[in-house]
Chains A and B, each alone.
Chain A
Amino acid sequence: MTQAFRIENGGLINRDKKLSFKFNGKTYLGYEGDSLASALLANGVHLVGRSFKYHRPRGFFGAGVDEPYAVVQLYRNGETEPNIKATEQELFEGLEAKSVNCWPSVNFDIGAINNFLKIFLPAGFYYKTFMWPKSFWYRIYEPFIRKAAGLGVASTKHDKERYEHKYEYCDLLIAGSGPSGLAGAYAAAKNGAKVILAEDKSRFGGSLLTSDVNIGNQSGQDWAEGIIAELKTMPNVVVKNRSQIFGYYDHNMLVMSEKVSDHLPATKKYHPNKRLWYIRAKEVLISSGSIERPIVFGNNDTPGVMLSSAAKEYLKVYGVLVGIKPLVFTNNDSGYETAIEFKKHGVDTVVLDSRKNPESEIIDEAKSLGINIKNSYVVVAAQGYKKVKSADIASISEDKKKLGKIENIECDCICVSGFWTPTIHLASQSGNKTKFKEEIDAFVPGQSKQNEITLGSANGVFSLEETLKTSFKTGSELSKKITKKDNEIAIPNVVEKKSSQHDKFWCVPLPKGKNYKRFLDFQNDVAVSDVEIALREGYRSIEHVKRYTTLGMATDQGKTSNLNGLQLVSEIENKVVPAVGHTTFRPPYTPVSIGAIVGREVGKQSKPTRKSPMHSWHEKNNAVFVDAGVWLRPRYYRRGNENLFEASKREAKNVRTNVGVCDVTTLGKIDVKGPDAAELLNRVYTNAWLKLPVGKARYGVMLREDGIVMDDGTTTRISENHYHMTTTTAQAANVLSHLEYYLQLVWPELNVNVVSTTEQWAGAAIAGPKSRDLLQKLFPKLDVSNEGLPFMGYMEGDLSGVKARIFRISFSGELAYEVNVESDYGNFMWEKIMEVGEEFNIQPYGTEALSTLRIEMGHVAGSELDGRTIPFDNALEGLVSKKKDFIGKRSLQRSAFIAEDRQRIVGVVPLDKQTSIPEGSHLVKDDKAPLPNPKLGHISASCWSVEYDNPFSLAILKDGKNMIGQKLFAMSPLKNKVIPVEIVSSHYVDPKGERVRS
């Protein structure tokens, strides 16, 4: 039996190309142009899954984006993706899909026992049941819910697919290619406007693909095809199918997800899987159409119950009969169109119309075709478990309260139409306050909020003639404003059948003694009774009812359920629907792949990688790198089998005994130039800068206005009006912005320019007792003696023909220099230093040794300047000028900042001189004190002191000044450690600072 439900001819599929695919392990055939849903239906497969909560059998309800049931797990090219709507997934050769929500199989589902045992999970079930006992949550409830719930399984493998982001600007963006979208796009394009027309399906045309209309003496579908063909030839128009505009954001920015490859067996080489478009549009035409809404009746979730428009689409677009004994249940004329379509293919339907005496052209046509029509009739309940077998029907009184005698008629599907709901998501997301339109019992967009206009059935207009007229006019007028061109377009004449008023009827009452489940939300299994419970329990706001019952909260976001839910609440509450109001429409309109949102920013591409000019040298010399912000810095240089600890100890030791060289290119560098440069520095730094002579460097600390230390570094006066400022690697960008803020906004009278020169200079720190000898050999013509180049001195030199800047500054606490050359010469400088340094036993050292050296010297860095400390805390109060004003000075008078027991930096040594103290450990007085044990301070940085060969840490400790010599405990619950420690001075090595001046 293959494709038994496919009609001989017709549909828009390509019958010359057969495709084979697998569903739940079984192989089927379909055609190119099928959706997974249509191909399954062609093969008579109606059972596709189990429902979310009750695990009831689920079939197909819609044919597109509104589908609440047919969510499958897709397997494609060795990858798997959950949460795929079978109605949206195009068929390709070799496609594989599986049902979700069913275990062990879709035909025998253990969870469904809940259903048979009538252990229905009522509204608020999760809130009520899983509340207590608390201990049950992790062991019993959560695993149970995890197994039972969910719409598929996310892959845990690395996603090989590529996703792109694209930024685009246009005059008119048109969302949806139905009649209104095509007319609007065409008129705007003819006026020369830059137009983007987006269609979420693979085929353009929207309702014209299934409606029986005539435009300009051709079928609606042919007309659409002609318009699209012409638009595609125009250079000012971008036409995109498989592209869903899912979000309308601020300032007319919309985001569109283009499925580039999902319809193919595998993504083509160099193609992305999806492309996310960020589109800034001057004007937006929302032509997103409308979605048919169901009528609520008993067991209305049985497979075989579906929207009448979906049945028509399966027939007209895919050539598939969803049943051979259909029952149509309608409150408006749309159901008749489906019945007529069935009749054209030789299938007889019974139409139940809730209206008493409806009259229209469409109904006349149905009558003339001999279709069996029952007026004032409704479906009371569907019968059948895995598939509709029959329907209980009855006549209904005019007030829709009383049912007549119940009859049972055989049928294999029930096509239901409860009229149309405009798709107003985008308009609502733009900020448009929607309004309720009585004639159609639905919300439509109100006053435009951003530059958006909603057209056609999305605006509640269901006449094709009116839609085309308005859309041509709107497209033409909006584009005229932008392009100043006005090409008149002849509006084609339209032939369409007029429809009559729909019946304001949406829910069939329960017959006496029956307790059928009547579902409102098909994806989340929310029934009429659930909403009733919520209201009985006192929930009033529609937003609360939504969250309590989960009505409209699933991945279909209530596309088919929201309005019926509102009708129910309004009825029980005795309020009109607009008084109940609808819940907020939030983007995305449909689920969007995380991959598409992330785009190319994955793995190494998630942030830029900055490398110093000496990077390749480090690589060649076994450097192990560490991320320092966006920079890659050598952490240590491995020799043989050394680990981090051994290597960094060796490198640090070599600095203390011989000489080491460290790549300091990453330090932020800012050129400060102008006659008022010294004045700016004097206001930015806490210490005095007006008297710094040319050729001298000075260490400075800068604060935020709240008194907290922002950054530190040395600044050197290169010439009269030229200063070279350095910042920490991490704060470089912030410091530049900070300076620009004061120069542009606060003190514009200062004649100073600042610019980042971080990239312009490569830097090498040469540190150790033999560094002067090395420097002398590098610059034989210079006097680099202690007198010629004293501590904090600066001079320029010639490094074998390359201009170099030499600073006598030290971070390691040793006699040290920093040499800068222009970046392109960085590697040359480095190799020269290594070559000349060989006789002094030079070794390169990484950030780990660098940390060790600064920690045991008590020099502060990022872990102390952590956004919570003031100069005093870092023992930097000596650098705070009492005479002049500077940024943040006034804040230092805050009572907490001058408190007697203010926190302050100290050194910490374990009593056993063996156990390293984990960074982040808390210092406490009593390790046995009851929790929460009062914290006195925390360990900010730890190292292995190479000077004393034992662990040493820095800490910020309350009343640190008076704590030297005290015995405390360092506790790290994270590492499960309690270490008895002694508090010592933070200047563990060379407390008088003699070495740097030697």
Chain B
Amino acid sequence: MLYINCPHCGMRSQNEFSYGGDASVKRPELNKEVSDQEWDNFVYNRKSLRGKHLELWQHISGCRQWIKVERDTATHEIFRTFKADEEVA
């Protein structure tokens, strides 16, 4: 079971969180012309990386904040975590 550092609450076990997928995906702006390809990329196409991956988790049984977690998908190592509005450098 992963041990995730919620930037709001501190170290918490994985069973307090729910997974939210790739955090690098950006939703196309509203009311903007979007090509089929762009929309497909947003809704469906994911890289399914092996290695370092920036992903979303929600601290659902805690502060209910969505957070960003930088995790290695192969080893489960967690490098850094970020608040929803934090820029990831």
Residues of A that sit less than 8 Å from B by CB: 167, 249-253, 278, 280, 431, 683, 705-706, 737, 740-741, 744-746, 748, 884-885, 890-891
Taking a contact as CB atoms under 8 Å apart, the answer to whether B1 and A741 are in contact is no
Q: A745 touches which one: B3, B39, B60, B66 (CB < 8 A)?
A: B66
Taking a contact as CB atoms under 8 Å apart, the answer to whether B66 and A251 are in contact is no
Chain A contacts for B65, CB-based, 8 A? 744
Taking a contact as CB atoms under 8 Å apart, the answer to whether B2 and A705 are in contact is no
Q: B30 touches which one: A253, A706, A885 (CB < 8 A)?
A: A885
Main secondary structure of the interface of B (DSSP, over half): loop
Does chain A have a CB within 8 A of B87? no
Question: Which chain A residue shows the least CB distance to B33?
Answer: A890
In the complex, 25 of the A-B residue pairs with CB atoms within 8 angstroms, ordered by the A residue number, are A167-B13, A249-B1, A250-B2, A250-B3, A250-B76, A251-B76, A253-B1, A253-B3, A253-B13, A280-B13, A683-B30, A705-B42, A706-B44, A737-B18, A740-B64, A740-B66, A744-B66, A744-B84, A748-B85, A884-B31, A885-B31, A890-B28, A890-B34, A890-B39, A891-B39
Question: How long is the Cα–Cα vector from A224 to B46 in the complex, in angstroms?
Answer: 57
Question: Which chain A residue shows the least CB distance to B39?
Answer: A890
Question: How long is the Cα–Cα vector from A885 to B30 in the complex, in angstroms?
Answer: 6
Q: Can you list the 10 inter-chain pairs with the closest CB atoms, starting with the nearest?
A: A251-B3, A885-B30, A744-B84, A885-B31, A744-B66, A250-B76, A890-B39, A746-B27, A253-B1, A745-B84
Chain A contacts for B64, CB-based, 8 A? 740
Does chain A have a CB within 8 A of B69? no
Which residues from 24 to 66 on chain B have a C-beta closer than 8 Å to any C-beta of chain A? 27-28, 30-31, 34, 39, 42-44, 56, 58, 60, 64-66
Taking a contact as CB atoms under 8 Å apart, the answer to whether A741 and B30 are in contact is no
Question: How long is the Cα–Cα vector from A249 to B13 in the complex, in angstroms?
Answer: 12
Question: How long is the Cα–Cα vector from A28 to B26 in the complex, in angstroms?
Answer: 74
Taking a contact as CB atoms under 8 Å apart, the answer to whether A740 and B58 are in contact is yes
Question: Which chain A residue shows the least CB distance to B68?
Answer: A745
Question: How long is the Cα–Cα vector from A740 to B62 in the complex, in angstroms?
Answer: 14
Question: Which chain A residue shows the least CB distance to B38?
Answer: A890
Question: How long is the Cα–Cα vector from A250 to B65 in the complex, in angstroms?
Answer: 23
Minimum C-beta distance from B17 to chain A (A): 11
Taking a contact as CB atoms under 8 Å apart, the answer to whether A891 and B66 are in contact is no
Chain A contacts for B43, CB-based, 8 A? 705-706, 891
Question: How long is the Cα–Cα vector from A706 to B66 in the complex, in angstroms?
Answer: 21
Taking a contact as CB atoms under 8 Å apart, the answer to whether B56 and A745 are in contact is yes
Taking a contact as CB atoms under 8 Å apart, the answer to whether B3 and A280 are in contact is yes
Chain B contacts for A740, CB-based, 8 A? 58, 64, 66
Question: How long is the Cα–Cα vector from A740 to B28 in the complex, in angstroms?
Answer: 18
Chain B contacts for A431, CB-based, 8 A? 75
Question: Which chain B residue shows the least CB distance to A706?
Answer: B43
Question: How long is the Cα–Cα vector from A498 to B75 in the complex, in angstroms?
Answer: 42
Interface residues on B, range: 20 to 34
Taking a contact as CB atoms under 8 Å apart, the answer to whether B1 and A250 are in contact is yes
Question: How long is the Cα–Cα vector from A890 to B31 in the complex, in angstroms?
Answer: 10
Sample of 13 further A-B pairs with CB below 8 A, known A250-B3, A745-B84, A748-B84: A250-B76, A251-B2, A251-B76, A253-B1, A253-B13, A706-B43, A706-B44, A737-B60, A740-B58, A741-B58, A744-B84, A748-B85, A885-B31
Question: Which chain B residue shows the least CB distance to A253?
Answer: B1
Minimum C-beta distance from A390 to chain B (A): 55
Question: How long is the Cα–Cα vector from A748 to B78 in the complex, in angstroms?
Answer: 26
Question: Which chain A residue shows the least CB distance to B20?
Answer: A741
Question: Which chain A residue shows the least CB distance to B42?
Answer: A705
Which of A683, A740, A745 has the most CB atoms of chain B within a 10 A radius of its CB? A745
Chain A contacts for B44, CB-based, 8 A? 706
Chain B contacts for A891, CB-based, 8 A? 39, 43
Chain A contacts for B18, CB-based, 8 A? 737
Taking a contact as CB atoms under 8 Å apart, the answer to whether A252 and B1 are in contact is no
Question: How long is the Cα–Cα vector from A347 to B56 in the complex, in angstroms?
Answer: 69
Taking a contact as CB atoms under 8 Å apart, the answer to whether B3 and A741 are in contact is no
Question: Which chain A residue shows the least CB distance to B27?
Answer: A746
Minimum C-beta distance from B15 to chain A (A): 10
Question: How long is the Cα–Cα vector from A683 to B27 in the complex, in angstroms?
Answer: 13
Which of B18, B28, B39, B78 has the most CB atoms of chain A within a 10 A radius of its CB? B39
Minimum C-beta distance from A377 to chain B (A): 50
Minimum C-beta distance from B75 to chain A (A): 7
Question: With A431-B75, A891-B43 given, is the CB distance from A737 to B58 under 8 Å?
Answer: yes
Minimum C-beta distance from A161 to chain B (A): 25
Question: How long is the Cα–Cα vector from A431 to B76 in the complex, in angstroms?
Answer: 11
Question: How long is the Cα–Cα vector from A929 to B69 in the complex, in angstroms?
Answer: 54
Chain A contacts for B66, CB-based, 8 A? 740-741, 744-745
Chain A contacts for B75, CB-based, 8 A? 431
Question: How long is the Cα–Cα vector from A748 to B20 in the complex, in angstroms?
Answer: 17
Chain A contacts for B60, CB-based, 8 A? 737
Chain A contacts for B27, CB-based, 8 A? 705, 746
Chain A contacts for B3, CB-based, 8 A? 250-253, 280
Chain A contacts for B28, CB-based, 8 A? 890
Minimum C-beta distance from A775 to chain B (A): 37
Chain B contacts for A249, CB-based, 8 A? 1
Question: How long is the Cα–Cα vector from A744 to B18 in the complex, in angstroms?
Answer: 15
Question: Which chain B residue shows the least CB distance to A754?
Answer: B64
Minimum C-beta distance from B48 to chain A (A): 18
Chain B contacts for A683, CB-based, 8 A? 30
Question: How long is the Cα–Cα vector from A249 to B14 in the complex, in angstroms?
Answer: 12
Question: How long is the Cα–Cα vector from A507 to B65 in the complex, in angstroms?
Answer: 61
Question: How long is the Cα–Cα vector from A891 to B28 in the complex, in angstroms?
Answer: 12
Question: How long is the Cα–Cα vector from A741 to B64 in the complex, in angstroms?
Answer: 10
Question: Which chain B residue shows the least CB distance to A742?
Answer: B27
Question: How long is the Cα–Cα vector from A808 to B56 in the complex, in angstroms?
Answer: 40
Question: How long is the Cα–Cα vector from A891 to B34 in the complex, in angstroms?
Answer: 11
Minimum C-beta distance from B2 to chain A (A): 6
Question: How long is the Cα–Cα vector from A600 to B31 in the complex, in angstroms?
Answer: 51
Which of A167, A252, A431, A746 has the most CB atoms of chain B within a 10 A radius of its CB? A746
Minimum C-beta distance from A690 to chain B (A): 14
Chain B contacts for A741, CB-based, 8 A? 20, 58, 66
